[in-house]
Every structure is written in C-alpha cells, then in structure tokens.
Amino acid sequence: MRILLTAINAKYIHSNLAVYNLKAVTAKYGDQIEIAEYTINQQPDEILADIYKKQPDVIAFSTYIWNRRMVGELIAELSKVLPQAEIWVGGPEVSYDAEAFLMEYPKVRGVMRGEGETVFPALASLYIEGTGSFQTIAGITYRNDQGELQINEDGAPVNMDELPFVYDHLEDFSHKIIYYESSRGCPFRCAYCLSSLEKKLRFRSLDLVKKELGFFLQAEVPQVKFLDRTFNCNPRRTVDLWQWILDHDNGITNFHFEIAADLITEEELAIMEQMRPGLIQLEIGVQSTNMETVHEIDRVMDLDLVRNVTAKVKSFGNIHQHLDLIAGLPGEDLDSFHKSFDDVFAMEPEQLQLGFLKVLRGTKIHRMAQQYGIVCHDKAPYEVLSTPWLPYKDLLLLKGVEEMVELYYNSHQYEKTLEEILKNYGSPFAFFVELAEFYDRKGYSKISHSRMARYEILREFISEKDWADPVYDQCMIFDLYARERLKSRPAFAADRSPYKEQLREYEKIYGKQVHIEIFTRDGQPVFVLFDYARRNPLTNDAHVEVLG
C-alpha cells in the first residue's frame, strides 16, 4: 500500500507544512507514505506523469485557493490513468464545502475536513493495516460503497504540543522558506477570513518553541515564517519569545510575523528597538481605514494606535513593515479606497500590499455575498469582480495601481525619484492612478520591461507632464547607483569628463568598490560616494556619503 501526500505550491521556494505534518504523525508507516511537492507553474501533464510513475494506491491532495483548479484537473485525469487509486482531498479550500466538492468530482472518495493531523492517521491505518472503517473516522465527508455521501462528526482540536517537529532533515528544505506554527486559531472573527472559523486559539508551549527555533538558528536558515494568524495576541508570550530571539540572534536568520499593530505594547516596542536590522519583519493587516467598512467586516482595529505603533517601529530603522489593504470590501467605494490607500501610504511601510477580496467558502462574507450584492469569480480564488460600491471598471483601475505600486514602490528601486515626483501630488494614490493609466494608454502593461526601461518609461511620463527640471534625472541616477555599480552609464546621466582629475583623486582614496557620482546643487557640483562594501543591512542599498 502506497499513499501519496501531494502538494502543489504557489512557488518553488514555498513548502507545504501540512503534508510534512501528516507524514510526521504517521511516521510508523515509513515509506508506505510518501510526499510529492510540485508548483502551479508546472504543466499539469508533467505532474500527472510523475504521480503515475509513483503508482500510488491512495492520492491525497492538499488543497488551497491557489491550486484548486489544477487539483481538479489532475483528479479528472488521474481517475483515467490510475482508475484503482482512491483520491482524497484536504485543506482549507475544501473543508467548508466538502459535499459540494464531492458532487463536483465524483471520482473523489472523500474529504478530510479541518485539521488533518487528527484525521489522517485513522485514514492511513484503515488503508495500510485494514483497521477501523470510514464510519468511525471523525472529520471526514466521504462516498460510501453505494456512492452515497456520508458526513462524519468533526475531529477533535489538535494539541499543539503533540505535533511532531518536521524539520530534522533541513536538507529537504534547501532554498525554501521555512514555515513554522507556534499557535493555531485567531482571537478575531473577520468576515472574509477562514481563520475566523477555526477552533479555539491554541499555543505550542514556549519551551518547545524555543528549542525548535534554536534548531533553526544553529542551522543558520535564512528565514523562518510564522504561520500564526495574530502572533502578538498574547502579550506575555510575545515579550518572552521576542526577548529570546533577541538574546539568541545568530546575525543571519530573519523571523517573519503577522501581527495586529494596535495590540503591540511598550514592552514589545522596547525589545524591537534593540534588534539587529532584519532580525524580524512584520506583516500588518490594515485592510481599510474606513471604520464603517471595518465594522461591517467584524474587524476590531484602533486606527490611531496602528498609526502610532507603525511610526515608532519605522523610527527604529531596523524592521521591515508590510502593510496590507483589501479592495472590494463592503461599503468601500473608490473614493473611500483612495483615502485608505493614502492613509496607509503615509505610514511609510517597506511593502504596501494591495490585495483584492476573495469570497472564500465558509466565511461570513460568502454567506452574505448575495445580500451585499458582491459578485465574484465562480472558480478559485473567488476574487471579487464588482460590488455595489466598486464596479468592475474601478477594480480594473485598482489592478493597474497594484502593478505600479509593486513595480515602483515595493521594489525600492525608485525611492528618491518617487519622493520628488510625489511633491507634485496631494495624494500618492492619484499619482499611481495616473501612472497606471499612462502604462495602459501606451500599451506598456502588456510587455515585460527591464529595470532601465522602467526608468525610461518614468522619464517619458514626467516629460508628458512637462515638469522641466533636471532634478528628476538626478534622482534616477541616485536611485540607480544606490542599488548597484552600473556596468553601462545611462544616456541621461550627466557628463563626468569635466571632473576627471577630481574623480581620479577620489578613486585613489576610496578604491574600486565604490562609485562617485557628480550631482549639481545651486549650479555647483556635489560629489557623492556610493560604497557597495558598506550596504544598509535592511535595504541593501549602498552606503551614501557626500564628499567634501
């Protein structure tokens, strides 16, 4: 008997913690249970062939919104080439509409609902040892021998301390992000989020967490990404773990946390201020600053506290902050989203993630979608198409804004240039809208561009605005050299030939791992040193120094 735990990840650098947990809780079966990981970027036929060659008796898919379409396609074809193999699915994408999934895919034997660590061992025992029966396995919806759907009672909540540690063989995760859970559940009940449906909030014991984090630190893994939905929901626990991470910093490993900024305490801020640049990074879901919308989605947030905390963390200069917005929420039209965007932009996050509402099965927003008048895609990831407040044309506009923010803001390649351009706007959102419309009008969105080409496009945008000022070219040159020592000098860069002697003298002093650029201020030359041997540990930009 061979059971294949199958994961189809969004990217190669991702790993699927769920299938490794299931393998770990059934370790006694050894090689009879195997893991196969793929990505959605692979051709379905390639994955189909690989699964076929493994000749599994049971295929279990870990199913999420990003892979449901491919999982469905593979199920259809696997039932043809491996007709004797039984197919099971699990994961958040199928747990809340198990019956509908089984009706849609008649070749699937069953759905593992909820936490697989309590369900899968009984299922594996049934298939491998022949013990038990489907009727006695809690947490499954399945098709009996007569083809009738049966819904068993829910499984018990997982005891977090009983979950095995799956990273003993780190070589299996080379070049991949390490995902880690120190808790499950969420104290909040946001209407759009599947975490609102999870069982009670549960924690892994601190001693166990510290032991396992110590393993990562000793192995010098680049990043550990916590999957905890609101890591800082317990202040004492947060202080304890962050202090431990600070005390045991290896100078290499980065820890990523999803937090609620308005729950951050002064004690936690004091610890963060002492941290090495890049030791931790924070993901903060703001979603909207329209408090009527926030209330409508059952979200709890003190916006003033969010502003204060993000400003303090920003002032430390050592922590990346990723702030999230969601377009398409109830009650938020384009003007309201415009304000939400500008409010969050003013917090100066290192990353501003503009997402779009996903109407996930099982959530309150899904149950209320018809009442709200929210229209979404029928297929995963069920992204919003229109709302009574935000028609499709406005969502298309926001898609363009999302692309411009990703290219020109989140990339950190145009910081001085954007700073100068935004002086012409009362609203950052207005600028990104105009830039998105410019890209669309010129057909640039349909083409892949090099970094240098994007500078040229920005110069064209500025030229159309008739902002005749050499400061924009100077800002672009600054941004270019802040990132790297260019092999070829841009055509719009200033002529260096009048300053050959001074440049030669500076190069004698500072060596070859630098670039010296000439800018002008009030008609006078200013020599600026870009030192690539001394990069900013948080941004990776060159150290910049104005020479005498």
Domains and CATH numbers, the chain: 3-151 (3.40.50.280), 171-390 (3.80.30.20), 469-546 (no CATH)
**Residue pLDDT, tens place only, 52-111:** 999 999 999 999 999 999 999 999 999 999 999 999 999 999 999 999 999 999 999 999
**Residue pLDDT, tens place only, 350-405:** 999 999 999 999 999 999 999 999 999 999 999 999 999 999 999 999 999 999 99
Which of residues 197 and 474 earns the better pLDDT score?
474
The residues with which 61 forms a beta bridge, in sequence order, are 6, 89
Count how many residues are written for the chain.
548
The residues with which 352 forms a beta bridge, in sequence order, are 323
Does residue 469 surpass a pLDDT of 90? no
CA distance 374 to 310: 32
Does residue 198 surpass a pLDDT of 80? no
Does residue 196 surpass a pLDDT of 80? no
DSSP-assigned states of every residue in 237-266: HHHHHHHHHHHT--SS-EEEEEE-GGG--H
| Distant-in-sequence, close-in-space partners of 20: CB < 8 Å, separation ≥ 6 | 35, 166
Q: 482, 434, 435: which is closest to 454 by C-alpha?
A: 435
Average pLDDT for 495-502 = 91
Give yes or no for a contact between 270 and 243, defined as CB atoms under 8 angstroms apart: no
CA distance 261 to 185: 18
pLDDT at 199: 65
pLDDT at 443: 95
Give yes or no for a contact between 152 and 135, defined as CB atoms under 8 angstroms apart: yes
Phi-psi region of 508 (alpha: psi -120 to 50; beta: other; left: phi over 0): alpha
pLDDT at 486: 92
Q: Rounded to 5 degrees, what are φ and ψ at 7? A: -120, 135
CA distance 51 to 68: 17
**Residue pLDDT, tens place only, 403-447:** 999 999 999 999 999 999 999 999 999 999 999 999 999 999 989
pLDDT at 347: 98
Question: Taking the model in full, what pTM does it have?
Answer: 0.94
**CA distances in angstroms from 46 to 35, 53, 520, listed in the order given:** 16, 11, 57
Sign of CA dihedral 223, 224, 228, 232: negative
